[in-house]
Amino acid sequence: MPSHDDDRDAPLRADVHLLGELLGDVIRTREGIAVFETVELVRRLARSARQGRAEDFERLRAEVLGRLSTDDALPVARAFAHFLALANIAEQHHRIRRRRQYLADPSAGAQPGSLAETFGRLTAGGMRADAICEAVAHLSIGLVLTAHPTEVSRRTLLLKHNRLAAALARRDRPDLTPLEQDEVLASLRRVVLELWETDEVRRDRPSPSDEVRWGLAVFEQTLWDAVPLYLRALDRAMRLQLGAGLPDRVVPVRFGSWMGGDRDGNPNVTARVTWRACLMARWVAAGLYLREVDALRAELSIVAANGELRARAGPTREPYRAILRGVASELRKTQERLSALLAEANGRQPGEGATVPGDPRTTGHWPPATDLPIDEAALRDVLDLCHRSLVETGNDEIAGGRLLDLRRRLAAFGLVLAPIDVRQDARLHDRAMDAVSRTAGAEGVWTEWNEDRRYRFLQPHLTGDGKRLALDAGADEQVREVFDTFRAISRIPARSLGAYVITMASRPSDVLAVVALQRAAGVREPLRVVPLFETGRDLEGAGAMLRQLLAVPEYRTAIAGRQEVMVGYSDSSKDIGRFAAGWLLYRAQEEIVAACADAGVSLTVFHGRGGSVGRGGGPTHLAIRALPPGAVSGCLRVTEQGEMIQAHWGLPDLAVRTLEVFTTATLEATLVPGQAPPAEWRAEVDRLAGHARAAFRGLVYEHPRFVEYFRAATPEVEIGRLNIGSRPARRAPGGDVGSLRAIPWQFAWTQTRLLLASWLGLEAALPDATAGEAALRRVRDMYKGWPYFQVLLDLMEMVLAKADPHIALEYDQALVAPDLRPLGDEVRARLARAIERLKVATGHRELLESNRVLKRSIAVRNPYVDPINLLQVELLRRLRATPEPDEGLRTAFAVTVNGIAAGMRNAG
């Protein structure tokens, strides 16, 4: 008999089977029977090998894949990469299907993490409905899209994937006629053929503006529709279970962006790029609002209106259409004006090729964008007037339709869609302040001064009535770019920008300098300044640094009782390993919470998370549940990076579910914060983290040949040559791990399936089965009773379940010098110890025994990822043996990178 889970997943298996058959048909038709038979042979051998036939693995590696020419290897790699991408689409669609089944069948119970389930659990626990409504009304969740280069798929392919998902959804309809069924199948076949006929490899490195366009497409294609759907679902759940709906202007979740604003280590993001990104966002927003206003005009043929609307509309039979006609006209003019400004921001007039007088590089002048035909307040005024008029004339139901959705969109997106954060390294600000201090004629320069001297220099420039610093025009190019950025901020409309995030912020003066530089540039509405604590040292000192900063009177006045602090998961994990970094982040947040509470300042913690566990990734509800008490008080910001944007926001229904989970997790963390752990548990994790840290650093930073091994055993160097993102892979020249960015560090280990960056250190932290009974009981009690510790081990269990030492061994044997291979043996032995010790700590007999869905998904994927890994090993061997490899070899390698990323799901 099939299990209930098997029955539930039968439609998913059917979708995967269908898409696989369609792909096979395309390969047979377009590439020929020989290629198709090779792909089928590889698939059969890989499945047989996974079932325990070692001889088939050897045959697959040596006799089949190892003998393929580059020309023959490419279609095989493409076949498996496309299949994994198609399986991902089917899984995404199945998530949507399961959500709809929960919503359609009350007898099935509420979906875990849903609005209905959370509201029901909170009220059943004694929480008053009005208290829950009040908490929802004050939620402030910021989701910030970033362009970190872990999404290796071209946008062209992602759009086709969305079309496939839409066709799968249509195929689920029970009322399709035979003709419609044939049409759906034909559309699926066409898109699979289009995918096969499309070049999946980026031939040019994307520019920052390309990344901005990619981010804006997410708003156009999913979020614009998903947000009002989510707000309607929230309103309905509140009415049904709490007795009161969602106020019209309350939007618990808003979006931000780093695309076009994140210049930390990326010289390609300039002041002009940020200016242009803001214009592009407003241009897209104007077009979206124009489309909705035109649709609203078509609906509001209503004659009845209140006196206020009639007075504004003038003598007309259809006052709503008349007043909205004017709004549409203003939106069109706004788009035209923004088009002209974009041309000017590009240094050209429409149709001309010369630099224009408004080019900021030649004049320091930024074309104004504050005099647009329509602004947010004017649009809100008209929409609110239409709403009041409909309600006062008894047309409440009409007011609650498209008009309400548009009013909520305006509350959520404004006219900018997503304010852009500016991010820069504190060390560049130091260089800028050196130039400023020289221009001011100060004794010595900024970088030579201690904190007290810096404060005395800045104090007159921190308040509105003080004098401004002079921005030195004679500084070097990098410093001039810093000054240009502040000048651009002064010219860009304030609503287009979000926060100013400072990387490597370790001292109060790092923050105060940005406050003063904004004043020096004439910024009328200064951006909130957000220190980012990410390295081990900065996290350890975060609480003390924040206390010193909040003791500065001028700064306390400037922030008006609100402080935002960002914590980064990537560099800390690369510094000391994920286990030790997790505890360091927890303690740092505790100290940040205490510092703000003691100062009487409200706190928003901004979490810089990636997709992989090694960079703070993992299921949203688990991540929020693991935060320390007080870290979520109705406010939260989180980055959504790389491949996770497509996973969370690629389809409207997925986006609605993601918004729901962020809302319920943040609400529950606010209303039912966890308890501080007992002192003995804290002491135990301190001890365990110390062991983990020593083990991680002992190998990664202190072993004299580890970097040599890393660069040989992984495709880190070759990945750096791919056209994935606009940002360089290294912050600075150098061959050590410290100079490497956290993203390619994680990405490289994911490609080899060793996933070292996410688990190394765990093997030294947790006790083994021979430890004393007291030690084992304590760790197991911590796992059962402390959400932070449970979530940390659960996430690491997921990583260990995906890790594959046998595949990693293939990289060592083919690519690593014999005298370095013992290092690989040691790493794999550590992996085995980590797995055994984690099972001891959790009491699990096997990995993922409590998460059968994920366990089954990994098992299904492995036979399709294995051949791509083996091909990648062979292609890397050829690349490294060829002084000038041809384009075909590079392309085949790039396809394997795409395929493995698709198979692993959270690549970086």
The burial class, CB within 10 Å (0-12 / 13-18 / 19+), for 604 is buried
DSSP 468-532: PPPP-TTS-HHHHHHHHHHHHHHHS-GGGEEEEEEET--SHHHHHHHHHHHHHTT-SSPPEEEEE
Segments of 739-814 assigned E as strands: none
Both structure tokens of 569: 């998961």
Distance of CA 895 to the CA centre of its chain: 23
Pairing verdict, β 253-257 and 140-146:
parallel
Q: Which residues are catalytic?
A: 148, 574
What Rg do the C-alpha atoms of the chain give, in angstroms? Answer: 28
DSSP reduced 3-state for 367: coil
Type and span of the H or E element at 869:
helix 852-881
142: which strand partners? 254, 637
- In 3-state terms the chain splits into helix, strand, coil percentages (rounded to 5) of 65, 5, 30
Instruction: Look at the block and give the residue holding tokens 């020289």.
Output: 438
The phi and psi torsions of 638 (rounded to 5 degrees) equal -145, 140
Query: In 672-772, where does DSSP find H-type helix?
Result: 679-700, 706-713, 716-719, 742-751, 756-759, 762-765
User: What span, in angstroms and rounded, lies between the C-alpha atoms of 715 and 811?
Assistant: 9
Decide if 565 contacts 508 (C-beta within 8 A): no
The first and second tokens of residue 546, run together, are: 């924040």
For 140, the token pair is 């402030």
Separation of alpha carbons 253 and 118, rounded Å: 17
State the amino acid at position 253 in one-letter form: V
Beta bridge partners of 532: 566
The pair of three-digit structure tokens given for residue 508, joined into one six-digit string: 């109060």
Residue with tokens 């095989």, as numbered in its chain? 76
- Closest by CA to 83, choosing from 33, 38, 43, is 43
Give the HSE-up count for residue 649: Cα atoms under 13 Å, Cβ half-sphere. 27
* Burial state string for 422-432 with b = 16 or more CB within 10 A and e = fewer than 16: bbbbbebbbbb
Instruction: Please give the Cα distance from 180 to 173 (Å, whole number).
Output: 10
Tokens 């540039």 correspond to what residue? 521
**Amino acid identity, residue 55?**
E
Structure tokens at 766: 């947790």
Nearest to 35 by CA among 6, 66, 83, 78: 78
Interacting residues of 471 by C-beta distance below 8 A, sequence separation 6+: 436, 483, 486, 487, 517, 520, 521
Q: Are strands 528-533 and 635-641 parallel, antiparallel or unpaired?
A: unpaired
- For 652, residues 6+ apart whose C-beta sits below 8 A from its C-beta are 222, 225, 226, 229
Task: Report the C-alpha gap between 628 and 630 in whole angstroms.
Answer: 6
- CA distances from residue 507 to 444, 537, 592 in whole angstroms, order as listed: 19, 12, 14
At 145, phi and psi to the nearest 5?
-80, 135
End-to-end CA distance of the chain: 39
Summary count for the chain: helices (H), strands (E): 42, 8
Q: How far is 266 from 268, CA to CA, in rounded Å?
A: 5
